[in-house]
Amino acid sequence: MSAPRMEGPAARPPLLRSIAGGLAGNLIEWYDFLAYSIFSIYFAKAFFPRDNATVQLMNAAAIAAVGYVARPLGSWLIGLYADRRGRKSALTWSVSVMCIGSLIIAVTPGYATIGAFAPAILIVARLLQGLSMGGEYGTSATYLSEIAPANRRGFYLGFLQVSVVTGQLLALGLLLVMQHLLFTSGQIDRWAWRIPFVIGGVLALFALYMRRNVMESEAFQKSGTRHGPPISREMLLHWRQLLLAVGITVGGTVGFYTYTVYMQKFLVNTVGLGKETATLVSALALLLYMPLQPLFGLASDILGRRPVLIFFGLSCTLFSVPIFNALASTHDPLVAFVLSFCGLFMLSGFTSVHMLAKTELFPVRIRALAVGLPYALTTAILGGTTEFVALKFKSIGHEQYFYWYVSAWSAISLLVYLKMPETNGRSARLKLQETIE
């Protein structure tokens, strides 16, 4: 029998602790996962034969993609566990696996020491990170949507993306401190790049402690997940919603990994900024992007999820190519900062609400898996290959094709947003169900 639900001020401390536990774990997982891409500028040469910088980055990006390929499996395993055994237990497992993957990267010798075993071990570590992240994001979104106040789910889920960006900023901030205060560029190249992964492993242990003290969601406790058809069979009954979830995700996935993760490398390789300047520009743009998430989420509580998503799809379709063309023609860090932030502002229409819109598509007993799996599949195919595609176009002398690549995927999602029903509110969900059926 589930514990009675507390109301009023007495309910706030455990609710806030649970929200903090969910967000802190997600923050640390994203720090660990994105630290790979952020620090690959430095460690790529440690794990691969010395050839040229673009080839080394392409190799590092290819292994980064391995982590994304593992995400659907992680989403299936952890999402299924979350729907069967509870959100709290699944979130605890996900952060434990991330801890192991980060520590493996931290201690693995380089190519000069163990040869081909170095990239092989790196692949194993990245697979573990992918398994963890595959289950983490969808389960975190599900958990937070179930414990947040019904009329402010958008606002609270906006902080999920804040935790993602905070994790990335922690990695970028650490890089800035290392670059400007602690080490020379040569020291970071040789050995200091390992420090972020050691820190990530330790922080994951802290997140594990926090998640042991969160409460289970009342929605899960009342879902009767142990009764009814198997979860996998019920998933098949909702195949239309699953396809809709993929359509919601594709454009924003390419946009997110372009404007956040890849942008730093673009500022170095194409704009011509120094590594330190590019890191600072990226960090400042992300810092301003972060508070937009709950604000866009609040807008979705008032206006609906669909208008906010349409804003992203329309703006990113129309303005991605002009933004990148302008970036490619400037060497001014201030101009680069303004243009980078413009891309992130457009992206906010997606990152603030897309996971919430998808949680509102599915019943509780299959929600964690149904939300996480389409996201993980889409990210594996598109997000994990974004950097590689961008670098490939650059290597063949047609970098501008990548700008149109970003715009095209945004346009595909825009068509979905224009056709989809609103998901916010009970009447909207009933209309959605009628439309799909």
The answer to whether the beta carbons of residues 413 and 313 sit under 8 Å apart is yes
**Angle between helix 400-419 and 305-328 (nearest 10):** 170
Q: What is the pLDDT of residues 108-118, one digit of tens each?
A: 898 778 887 88
The pLDDT score that the predictor gives to residue 1 is: 37
Chain-centroid distance of CA 360 in Å reads: 19
The pLDDT score that the predictor gives to residue 8 is: 47
Q: Low-confidence residues of the chain, pLDDT below 50?
A: 1-11, 427-428, 430-431, 434-437
The pLDDT score that the predictor gives to residue 53 is: 63
Q: What is the pLDDT of residues 347-403, one digit of tens each?
A: 999 999 999 999 999 988 899 999 999 988 898 889 878 888 998 999 888 999 999
* Residue ranges in 153-221 assigned as alpha helix (H): 153-177, 185-190, 195-211, 218-221
The pLDDT score that the predictor gives to residue 4 is: 41
Query: Structural domain boundaries of the chain?
Result: 18-214+227-436
φ, ψ dihedrals at 75, nearest 5° = -65, -40
CATH architecture label of 18-214+227-436: Up-down Bundle (1.20)
- What CA–CA distance (Å, rounded) separates 256 from 262? 9
The residue to which tokens 């063949």 are assigned: 396
- What CA–CA distance (Å, rounded) separates 197 from 318? 38
In the chain, pLDDT over 90 holds for what percent of residues?
35
The pLDDT score that the predictor gives to residue 2 is: 40
Which residue type, as a one-letter code, is found at position 154?
A: G
The pLDDT score that the predictor gives to residue 295 is: 97
Whole-model pTM: value is 0.82
How many other CB atoms sit within 10 Å of the CB of residue 183?
17
- What CA–CA distance (Å, rounded) separates 128 from 105? 11
- What CA–CA distance (Å, rounded) separates 399 from 392? 8
